Structure 1
Amino acid sequence: MYFITKNKIADYIAQHPEAKTAFLTWIKEFPYSQGKSLFKDHKNQPIDYILNGWFDLGRGDYSVEFKFNPWLKIGYIVWLGTKAALVEHQEREFEKLKAKYPDSQRKVFTTTIRIEAPEFSEPSVNTEDGNLYESGESDETVSVGIPVDLTNVHLGNAPEIFPSKIEDHIVSEFDLQTKTEYENALDRAIALFESKPDTPEFGELSLLLPLIWHYEATNIELPRLALLDVIKLKMEMFEMNPSHLTFIVGSDEEVSLFLTGKNTLSEKKLQAICDLLYILIPLNDKSLIK
């Protein structure tokens, strides 16, 4: 699963730094959450139509309007901003639609899914090495909360038009060299985005997307995301307080030192916290500040 229009996130974060954690957490977790099932219908069958809709981010303070192409397994961001700005945006879009189709009526359906913080049993803490152990457990594994298996997760199993790594990109004379070339290519790709397979437009779109992806990967840099900020965000989402981490970290004082950035934790303890809070960003993500 790939995204283009990375420039929109970069520009928005630059103007609204307070939104950084919510947006970066969403885009990093997306391939392991919504991105895994986005292209299947309610019967778990592949869809054959363009998807568009909204995602609420973080505590619900921000929203993203998106479109996804199921054949190329790629999406782009149509709009992003605060929930308050979303209402105004939707009103403007509806007025445009009504001007084109005067008989249009608005119907709003809202589905709210609340994920409760998981129940857990407190493991014992070996104060000598600081590791966590379940009763009768060796130091080979740590099990806290509900672990997420990412072993077989790939970025949406995207088609071969995208290389698996930026280093695998084959340089060509068609690569986008300037911001103007990038913006023109992006505008053209968005215009062609709803093209269907076996059409000339779809073929052109398939050629444009890797060039756009490569330009964004090499020229548009998003800020690095701190794992501690993600942990704090998820704790707020689950309405958890620092005492919920004591059984992992060791003591109230150690939790306080960790949450204020004055102390670091072992990889095992960080993974245990991530499992507890359903943080799906792999700890080996090189852009993640730990």
Structure 2
Amino acid sequence: MHPLELPFSRAGHDRAAHRRTEPDLVGRLRADPSTRVLALHGGRLAVVGQEIPRATLLPPAALLDAPVDASWAFLGEADGTAYLSVVLPDGDETLPPGAAAWAGLRQIVLGQSGALAAAEPDVVLVHGLSVAAVALAGWHSTHRRCGRCGEPTAVVQAGWARHCPVDERETYPRTDPAVIMAVVDDADRILLGHAATWPAGRFSTLAGFVEAGEALEDTVRREVAEETGVVVGTSPGDVVYRGSQAWPFPASLMLGFRARAVATAVQTDDEEVTDARWFTRDELAAAAASGEVGLPGRHSIARALIEEWFGRELPAR
């Protein structure tokens, strides 16, 4: 099987982690006119373009009026250019000069998915920087205090850690691993589920978070059994890794798998999943084309897993 094409997993920059401990790295880069900056506010990015928004890389001069409590971070470098992010504080939504609007990462990815698939280097670069910036901003927003003693923490390592002055320890961004799987039976049907919180008719692959001390393959089997009653095999090759996708909403890493069912009777848990169905290719194509079934967006690993099984793109609706 060929690798999955996953928009949220593309990057064109070097994170240059070795530079994060350089003295006043962010301050020096802010003073360098060749540096470029991604601006964020309320989880959204400053963009250019209306119908197809794209995160814009601004010169430091465009952020000269940024509030003193804005949060800066070093994202990395590419071809001799350094990149920063700045998270503007809540309240004033004034756009920096050179930006047209604020837009969420999902909206940007959907607009740029074609360019990403074609591997246009400049689009891939900005996209990779944007994913990192949104993930990092989300972590900082929920980790302002020490998890051990509750004291306020200070940003260190160019935005990639927070230091507690009481415990004298540093905390680093964490990512929550979650599995997501295309479950297929011996008749080559795919199992899709409907979550309790979704609009009527929406179906997708099953997914769930990895629990403490649990192997990824065991998570796949447990989640499928808990949500649908379907049994995934334990033989070699019954659970196959297919790819990963950063999912910073707020802090997940989606680990994609193809899983083989050895018992196909469906009994949903009616809490997280209220409906689950087996589909042949013809059945899914007809249901998607008619609008009876709504599928996940093209930016998602769920859609990639489904279309990998299907063999080509499915209707967009």
TM-score of the superposition, structure 2-length normalised? Answer: 0.24
Larger fraction in helix: 1
